[in-house]
Amino acid sequence: MNVLTLNQFILMKFMQKSKTKSMYLTRKFTFDSAHKLKEYDGKCKKLHGHTYILEATISGEIDERSGMIIDFKILREIVEKEVIEKLDHQYLNDFIKNPTAENVIKWIWEKLIPRLRKNKKELVKLRLWETPDTSVTLYKISKNNL
């Protein structure tokens, strides 16, 4: 018969509880924008556009009452207000210097962080698809990643 100390029992219950309550949630968004890469030596130096696909992944505790990390509707409202409304059918060069996919995703990250933190949610990953074959991914760096 295995006998657990009170501390072992509490730690075991905490680990079981935390494993079932921390999750990741991802939602996709699309927007159309134009840009040109003035510093690039190739076709992209000229004005052109993309139908971008943005994947936003957040983490958080599951609310016991709702059973959700966040309502998909609320996440959609945050991303649409902070990102989609600002980028959709716009010329990215007007507000992002050198709008490479890498610089666009950094801009998006900076816009989403404050609003998600207000909702006690953590942005952990963004993926921006510029074409069906090419994307850039930005991850939150934590002590666990090092």
Using one digit for the tens of pLDDT, what is the confidence trace for 117-136?
Answer: 998 899 999 999 999 999 99
Q: Is 59 helix (H, G, I), strand (E, B) or coil?
A: strand
Is 65 a domain residue? yes
Its pTM stands at 0.82
Q: What b/e sequence results for 109-129 when a residue is b if at least 16 CB atoms lie within 10 Å of its CB, and e otherwise?
A: bebbeebbeeeebbbbbbbbb
Q: What is the CATH number of the domain that holds 56?
A: 3.30.479.10
Using one digit for the tens of pLDDT, what is the confidence trace for 80-106?
Answer: 999 999 999 999 999 999 999 999 999
d(CA 107, CA 102): 9
Q: How many domains does the chain have?
A: 1
Is 44 a domain residue? yes
Is 16 a domain residue? no
Is 119 a domain residue? yes
Domain of residue 111: give its range: 22-145
Q: Cα(first)–Cα(last) distance of the chain, in Å? A: 40
Residue type, 99: P
